[in-house]
Amino acid sequence: MDTHHRSDPRKDRAVARTAGLTQVCRVLGLEENAAAQFLALFDECLADYSALSIDPSTGALGIMTLGSGQAHAFRIVKFMEQAKQSEAAIEQFLGRVRHFDAENIAVKAEIDRRGVREVTTYVRQEIEPKVAHACLADAGVDVASVGLMEAVFEALDSATVCAVATAATVSGDAVEKIYFASPDAAMDWNRVRLVGQLVGLSDLDWSPIDAQRSTLSISGMELSLGFRGGRALPGVTLAFQSVSPEVVAGLLGSRTERETADRIRVLWDRTVHDEVRIRIVPGGPMGLKTCAVRAQEVG
């Protein structure tokens, strides 16, 4: 049988990924070369896991992938260098990777019209509290803020965190992040609202979420805290799975934001958003990002 002209499915999917991403960048007016560099460097990883996110308030695009091993870690370092990340950020990443044996390391680039503006590196695995403490301490987080993380452990009845991360901008600003995902039996709205009290949120701050609570599933929800300059940031981020576009539309204030939030969902032909991340801060505007995920994609 003549197989000379048989196409390679992985290459076909890579071409489709590049074309789709280029289309989104052009529609949003984003810098295409930065996205192309990420795709070229992490092409093999993206074939197994890829996630795109959009911030409808700014139009910034996030591209994420996940992998394991030293070769993957070195690719991330190369990308951090290309994105002009500081030596301190790179050294911190390498130290964390060594501690976690380079297993389940994710990287996300956030791109706007100027190019890559932020690089976030993640360790996504079950992490005990004392190890999470060490990650924060190594990043210079103060005792009171580490104590807040301990209180959140107790409030959520959680024995581990599901990820630690560092988001670093090209200007050198860095935010440490800790992610919690309690078992479904333990995660309930009362516990989540208790965490909200710990981070300074009022009933008024919760009102946009409360208005949509009957349509937001708490099953599989992820909760994260941020730390900047050695101190905990006020507020909390909640990540909900399988969220309808109607719910997102109800949380956004303008038609332009609603259309932007839908770009990836439409591009990947999804009926729902795979994930929606909502940032709630005391007395401030709510932040939101929509996300679509492909894992072990098959055509």
Give the pLDDT confidence of 123-178 residue by residue, as tens digits. 999 999 999 999 999 999 999 999 999 999 999 888 789 999 999 998 889 999 99
Mean pLDDT, range 109-133, rounded to an integer: 94
Read off the tokens for 287. Answer: 């932040």
Residue 187: in which H helix or E strand, if any?
A: none
Q: How far apart are CA 1 and CA 170, in angstroms?
A: 53
Give the rounded percent of residues in the chain with a pLDDT score beyond 90: 68
Contacts of 281 (CB under 8 A, 6+ apart): 201, 205, 233, 234, 235, 287
**In this model, does residue 25 exceed pLDDT 90?**
no
Contact 142, 106 (CB under 8 A): no
- Output DSSP code: residue 214: G
**In this model, does residue 19 exceed pLDDT 80?**
no
pLDDT, residue 17, reads: 66
pLDDT, residue 296, reads: 63
pLDDT, one tens digit per residue, over 188-207 is: 889 999 999 999 999 999 99
Average pLDDT for the chain: 89
pLDDT, residue 299, reads: 35
Better-scored residue on pLDDT, 272 or 219: 272
Q: Place 80 in a pLDDT band, splitting at 50, 70 and 90.
A: very high
Q: Report the amino acid identity of residue 69.
A: G
Tell me the pTM: 0.91
Q: List strand residue ranges (DSSP E) for the chain, in order.
A: 49-54, 61-67, 105-112, 115-123, 163-169, 174-180, 222-228, 231-232, 236-243, 273-280, 287-295
What's the burial of 35, exposed, middle or buried (CB within 10 Å: 0-12/13-18/19+)?
buried
**In this model, does residue 185 exceed pLDDT 70?**
no
Among 275, 288, 175, 265, CA closest to 221 = 275
pLDDT, residue 7, reads: 58
